[in-house]
Structure 1
Amino acid sequence: MQYAIADSHSDILVNRLHDFTVPWAQRIIERHCRETRVKNLEMISADIGTTTRVRLMVEHDGPEALPRRWFVKIPSLAWRARLITALPRLLHVETRFYRDIAHAVPLNRPVLLAAQSRFGKGATLVLSDVAESGALPGRTGEALSLSQATAVIEHLARFHAAFWGIQCDSNYRWLGGPIRRLEDRLGTLMAVPLMRLGLEKADGAVPGHLHGPALAYARRRRRIMRFLHSGRQTLIHRDCHPGNFFWNGSNPGLLDWQLVRIGEGIADIAYFLATALEPETRRSHERSLLEHYRHSLAAHGIADTRPETLWQRYRAHLSYPFEAMVVTLAVGGMMEEEANLAMIRRAASAISDLEGFAALADA
């Protein structure tokens, strides 16, 4: 079910927790069922990270199909996270994703209730809470089982196949436009100091033999990003760690589309396997999981992927989840630290085992 989004004349923007009021919820409800009245609003939780994520219980007299558990994303109330995410306008990107693209994505996703984005004013995204349908949100840093990993690989293959060969035409130009270029420039500008700080804070989570190659990667980041972007293009999530999934039984769905972009599908697979699987599980099954991804793509009409090329691109793309986790630790306040460290250990193990930095020699 897809509901209408708020337009520019119906202000639903929220920047503080005390702005969640019954009149605010009423403005959203009236977009969908004008006769429905909101009776009460209760804040269940507020989690502050790269964004502030708020769970609400909204009591109303509308139809059963109109969600009563809401999940709302607003700009982060943590100043460091807000500074990092404000310039590349990450929440604005996610808002536009739900407005313009989500309906075409063949993955489980929450119901969109309202979305609004204004330059200089912030963005607010209102979704149904996945708990409304009995689904369970993933936990950041948790290790997934082989059966869960297999299900995710199948779903990502279907998602990538749906957008295979996508071009930055008028419908998708914003995915690679000024915002993304600014994000890449900021990432490159801050790569060395943040990598150095992250490695210091990670302490024993990153083996010493990786420190030199990691800093060399940071110094060459701009060229490496171009190399990693040179494969066959599709739509990618680019943040496939365990905390961004939810589970309806054994079926996964994806949350947090702030980093969505046009890129190479194997990038999502590398990010997922590097952050979600314990090293023993990954070592035993990553070859077969990549082959499963290739066969799943073929089942959806994409038959031009060669096993050895896929493997080499997978090795190269392991560099980004490693960077992302180390930089997240360096910035601080964006993720629960123990979960962050657990994923750093996994990503470090993956890039070490497969000599991922060496796979970037041609960049």
Structure 2
Amino acid sequence: MTTIAAIPAGPDEVTHEWLTSVLGVEVTAADVSGVGTGQTGATYRVALTYAGPTELPYTLIVKLPSQDAAVRERVALGYKSEHAFYTDVAHTLAMPLPQCYHCEIDRDGADFVLVLADLAPAEQGDQLAGCTVEEAHLAARALAGLHGPRWCDPDWLTFTGATMPRPDVDFARGLGDLAVMAVDTTLGKLGDRMAAQDRDTLVETAALIGRWLLLERDRFSLLHGDYRLDNLLFDPDRTQVTVVDWQTLTVGLPARDLAYFLGTSLLPEVRAEAEGSVVDTYHRELVRHGVADYDRDACWRDYRLGMPQIPLITTFGFAFSAATERGDGMVLAMLERGCRAIRELGTLDLISELAG
């Protein structure tokens, strides 16, 4: 008799028997093929054959941990965050998400599986190419559906599923030190491919991260943490967007997500012209979701203040991940765009002003 793994260790264990056990209907065949690049996880598309009529889809996406044991161990906290998101959080939000059919975790994140709706023919955003203004408005509306419904919910302050909880003074100081190290590592490997003014902006921003994390603590929400084009799927007609990859959950100033997205996803000249209208869209949607006592001026200031999310996440990701040619190009593009936004929006002066 075949033993069915509770959680598949790899694609060979994503069998029709296992799918039958988790979907609750008889699956007679499953054809598994890899999708995506799999830098922190392994993702597969599964074509299913059922024993009889069903309302379930005939293709699904199955996400497993990285098949590299070292990577799996390093990002186990991210798997725990994604599990917490889909099991405890997703149903409380108004964000466009793929339907989740099964999510399970064991061994402190070493074993993990997520079964989602297949959104094909939706297309992943292209971080290198950037997005259109219309796509930015779609993303901003979706983001308000993450932040708005549980704006300043005190439960976020004790939420254990975040990879980065809202920091206290000691945590902020330690993360600030790590930010400096991450920038040093990034500059050591990529600095000769960056403009001098961008290198200076990175160093200056890293030095302020510890203080920046402690600003405006009366406004908080759950953040996606890595809200960028590669984690967004757009319908072919570009009228809908769906958000994926919840391995970097953070609790902090909501507009950090918006700043990170616009600063890295719009080309600089386009961002400078369009960012005001996209912030308007985001703020209008927050109000629609019930956010009160938060005017547009405060939203704009928070957007400016949120820009250090770009170097923080981008240099951390680069410093602690395996390098690839596309990855290096993406990091350079994101940092160039982000550093320019920091300068043009006067973000470092604003941090100094607020930090006293």
Please report how far the alpha carbon of residue 189 of structure 1 lies from its aligned counterpart in structure 2 after TM superposition: 5.3
SS at match of 1:332: coil
Distance in 1 (alpha carbons) for counterparts of 2:288 and 2:10 = 47
**Cα distance in 2 between the residues matched to 1:243 and 1:251:** 15
Shift in alpha-carbon separation, 1:44–1:128, aligned structure 2, 3 A: same
Q: Does 1:279 align with 2:265?
A: no
Structure 2: distance between partners of 1:50 and 1:334: 13
Q: Structure 2: how far apart are the matches of 1:178 and 1:290?
A: 25
SS in 1 for 2:213: helix
- Residue in 2 that maps onto 1:350: 341
Equivalent residue in structure 2 for 1:246, among 218, 233, 251: 233
Q: Pick from 129, 134, 149: which aligns with 1:147?
A: 134
Deviation at 1:177, TM superposition (A): 8.8
Match of 2:288 among 272, 282, 299: 299
In structure 1, stretches of 5+ residues that fail to align are 1-9
1:27 equivalent to 2:21? Answer yes
What amino acid is aligned across from residue 40 of structure 1 in structure 2? A
Q: Which moved more, 1:345-354 or 1:95-104?
A: 345-354
Give the distance between the partners of 1:124 and 1:180, measured in 2 at CA: 27
The answer as to whether partners of 2:166 and 2:252 remain within 8 angstroms in 1 is: no
Q: Which moved more, 1:76-85 or 1:290-299?
A: 76-85
Distance 1:333 1:59 in 2: 37
Given that residues 322 and 351 in structure 1 are in contact (C-alpha distance below 8 angstroms), is that contact kept between their aligned partners in structure 2?
no
Q: In structure 2, give the amino acid aligned to 1:352.
A: R
Cα distance, 1:74–1:113 mapped onto 2, change above 3 Å: same
Describe the shift of the 1:55–1:200 C-alpha distance in structure 2 as closer, same or farther (beyond 3 A): farther
- Is 2:89 the counterpart of 1:95? no
Counterparts of 1:15 and 1:206, CA distance in 2:
41
Contact 2:124–2:230 (8 Å) recurs in 1: yes
Going from structure 1 to structure 2, the CA distance change for 1:100 and 1:221 (only over 3 Å counts) comes to same
Q: How far has the Cα of 1:108 moved from its partner?
A: 1.8
Identity over aligned residues, as a percent?
A: 23
Q: 1:216 to 1:51 in 2, by over 3 A?
A: same
- For structure 2, the 5+ residue unaligned runs are none
**Structure 1 residue identity aligned to 2:331:** N
C-alpha distance after superposition, 1:214-239 (max 9, x if no partner): 33443453332222x61412232221
Q: How many residues align?
A: 344
Equivalent residue for 2:159?
173
Which string of whole-angstrom CA distances, capped at 9 and with x for unpartnered residues, describes residues 51-106 of structure 1? 222222233334442123222222223466445423xx111111121111212221
From 243, 247, 253, the counterpart of 1:264: 253
Q: For 1:101, what is the secondary structure of its paired residue?
A: helix
Q: TM-score if structure 2 supplies the norm length?
A: 0.84
**Equivalent pair of 1:231/1:263 in contact (CA under 8 Å):** no
Alpha-carbon separation, structure 1, partners of 2:44 and 2:204? 39
Q: CA–CA distance in 1 between the matches of 2:65 and 2:351?
A: 35
Does the C-alpha gap of structure 1 residues 341 and 84 become closer, same or farther in structure 2, counting only changes over 3 Å? Answer: farther
Q: Is the 8 A contact 1:206 1:348 kept in 2?
A: no
**d(CA) in 2 for partners of 1:210 and 1:345?**
6
- 2:38 aligned with 1:48: yes
* TM-score of the superposed pair, with normalisation by structure 1: 0.83
- What is the deviation of 1:313? 2.0
Output the amino acid matched with 1:119. R
Could you report, residue by residue, the CA deviation over 1:104-143 in whole angstroms, capped at 9, with x for unpaired residues?
2212211212111113442221212211xx4333334341
330-339 or 195-204: which moved more? Answer: 330-339
Partners of 1:308 and 1:105 lie apart in 2 by 25
| Closer/same/farther in 2, CA of residues 62 and 186 from structure 1, 3 Å limit | farther
Instruction: Tell me what 1:60 maps to.
Output: 50
C-alpha distance in structure 2 between counterparts of 1:16 and 1:66, whole Å: 23
Structure 1 Cα separation of the partners of residues 30 and 301 of structure 2: 55
